[in-house]
């Protein structure tokens, strides 16, 4: 009898149930939180001896409702400055070197990041606001991107996918299910990774960029705002290591409710989490920028960037591709203080200029 009673107590504790005045209350789990150091290293190599100007733009993560970002280190051989792109407000670390007389330039950035799980699926609270929606970029999130047109072909597909659905939430769920069911996460061959909606429609495979190009394009085609975000993934297991590359995700907008997170490519890779990723982003990521077709600040001489997560470099006004990049994470239990060493110059003007960026 004692053994059985002990088992019952342990089971109740494990489920988060507590008895009070003869009643049992289910304690809701709060969002998962992860704190880690993130290091972003970019090295421009093979700079021509005759180069007169080298310009380097790096995406710079900032705090928002779902992550807190504290700069720990910025090390570079030339002065840098912080800027924001004129359309989306993404933060940018910019370096310009005149007559560098060196064959390489390396920039290191290190941040302390606390990322919170982002969950929104209490859809019963959807109400149309009389005063209207306030996101200043809402109209932009209905417009096409260069590789995500909202043309007759995409509108026809969107109508077919959402046939019989009347509410926006029903339409978005139908689009999400269509993308998860009809695309395969596959990075073989060529063409993937550009976020080309036609490629996704025709080849029906690709990486996260392609999945979310299709999701975003179909949402916009039925009048539902949807936006693109990009950053880096972290493995679920805590520890440290190098991250191979970026990850991107999406959000859609429900009128009267707000933004809802989606990760269609992760749902495809992990079918057991299909329901979870319709309305959630886990804590195992860090966001750097939003939007596509990005004009930098200072403006680049080349074309708008398809998306902005890796270093962008120009030498004498022309795009330059000799760039090495490495990304590392390290989970931490105690938040470290910003450090400075004699061999690495911390750019104090950047930290002073960061305050308004972090407060917005």
Per-residue pLDDT tens digits for 67-112 = 999 999 999 999 999 999 999 999 999 999 999 999 999 999 999 9
In the predicted model, is pLDDT for residue 352 greater than 80?
no
Q: Which domains does the chain have, with CATH numbers?
A: 33-115+297-359 (2.60.40.2250), 123-282 (3.10.620.30)
Lowest-pLDDT range of 56-60, 212-216, 220-224, 350-354: 350-354
Over pLDDT 70: what percentage of the chain?
Answer: 82
Q: Give the pLDDT score at 350.
A: 40
Q: Is the separation of the CB atoms in 226 and 290 below 8 Å? A: no
Mean pLDDT of 328-337: 78
Q: What value does the mean pLDDT take over residues 276-282?
A: 98
pLDDT at position 126 is 61
Find the mean pLDDT for residues 169-173.
97
Report pLDDT for 125: 64
Span of 21-25, 32-36, 166-170, 250-254 with lowest mean pLDDT: 21-25
Q: By mean pLDDT, which of 48-52, 134-138, 211-215 is the weakest?
A: 134-138
Question: CB–CB of 109/73 below 8 Å?
Answer: yes
pLDDT bracket for residue 354 (50, 70, 90): very low
Given a cut of 80, whether residue 48 has pLDDT beyond it is yes
The Cα 344–Cα 180 span in angstroms is 46
Distance from C-alpha of 309 to C-alpha of 245, rounded to nearest angstrom: 9
pLDDT tens sequence across 298-309: 999 999 999 999
Q: Residue 19: pLDDT above 50?
A: no
* Lowest model confidence (mean pLDDT) among 20-29, 41-50, 99-108, 136-145: 20-29
Please report how the helices 168-182 and 152-161 are oriented relative to each other, as an axis angle in degrees rounded to 10.
100
Residue 6, pLDDT score: 39
Q: What is the pLDDT of residue 281?
A: 98
Residue 335: pLDDT above 60? no
Span 313-331, mean pLDDT? Answer: 98
pLDDT in tens, 233-242: 999 999 999 9
Q: What is the DSSP string of 279-290?
A: SEE-SSEEEEEE
pLDDT confidence of residue 334: 57
Give the pLDDT score at 30. 82
C-alpha closest to that of 265 among 175, 185, 181, 191: 185
Range with lowest mean pLDDT among 133-142, 231-240, 267-276: 133-142
Which position has the token pair 């495809």? Answer: 268
SS3 of residue 201 by DSSP: helix
Strand 280-281 to 118-119 pairing: antiparallel
Q: Which of 145, 283, 273 is nearest to 209 (CA)?
A: 145
> What is the structure's pLDDT at 20?
40
**Span of 63-67, 349-353, 356-360 with lowest mean pLDDT:** 356-360
Per the prediction, the chain carries an average pLDDT of 87
Mean pLDDT value across residues 271-279:
98
The whole-number pLDDT of residue 169 equals: 96
Confidence at residue 122, expressed as pLDDT on a 0 to 100 scale: 87
Structure confidence at residue 123 (pLDDT) = 76
> What percent of the chain stands above pLDDT 90?
79
Q: Report the DSSP beta bridge partners of residue 37.
A: 112, 330
């Amino acid at each position: 009898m004692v053994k059985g009673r002990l088992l019952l107590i342990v089971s109740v504790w494990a489920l988060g149930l507590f008895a009070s005045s003869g009643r049992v209350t289910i304690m809701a789990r709060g969002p998962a939180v992860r704190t880690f150091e993130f290091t972003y290293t970019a090295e421009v190599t093979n700079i021509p001896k005759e180069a007169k100007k080298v310009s380097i733009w790096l995406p710079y993560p900032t705090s928002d409702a779902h992550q807190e970002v504290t700069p720990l280190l910025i090390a570079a051989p030339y002065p840098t400055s912080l800027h924001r792109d004129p359309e989306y407000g993404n933060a940018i670390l910019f370096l310009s070197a005149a007559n560098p007389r060196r064959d390489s330039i390396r920039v290191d950035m290190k941040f302390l990041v606390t990322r919170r799980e982002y969950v929104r699926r209490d859809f019963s609270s959807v109400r149309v606001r009389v005063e209207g929606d306030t996101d200043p970029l809402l109209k932009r999130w209905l417009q096409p991107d260069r590789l995500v047109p909202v043309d007759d072909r995409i509108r026809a597909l969107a109508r077919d996918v959402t046939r019989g659905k009347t509410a926006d939430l029903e339409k978005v769920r139908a689009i999400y299910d269509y993308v998860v069911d009809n695309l395969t996460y596959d990075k073989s061959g060529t063409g993937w990774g550009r976020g080309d909606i036609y490629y996704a429609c025709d080849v029906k495979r690709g990486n996260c960029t392609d999945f979310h190009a299709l999701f975003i394009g179909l949402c916009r085609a039925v009048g539902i705002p949807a936006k693109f975000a990009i950053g880096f993934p972290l493995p679920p297991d805590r520890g440290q290591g190098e991250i191979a590359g970026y990850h991107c995700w999406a959000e859609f907008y429900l009128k009267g409710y707000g933004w809802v997170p989606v990760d269609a490519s992760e749902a495809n890779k992990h079918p057991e989490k299909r329901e979870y990723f319709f309305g959630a982003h886990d804590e195992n990521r860090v966001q750097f920028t939003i939007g596509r077709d990005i004009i930098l600040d200072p403006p680049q001489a080349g074309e708008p960037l398809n998306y902005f997560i890796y270093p962008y470099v120009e030498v004498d006004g022309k795009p330059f591709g000799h760039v090495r990049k490495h990304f590392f994470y390290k989970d931490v239990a105690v938040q470290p203080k910003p450090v400075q060493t004699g061999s690495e110059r911390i750019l104090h003007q950047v930290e002073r200029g960061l305050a308004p960026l972090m407060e917005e």
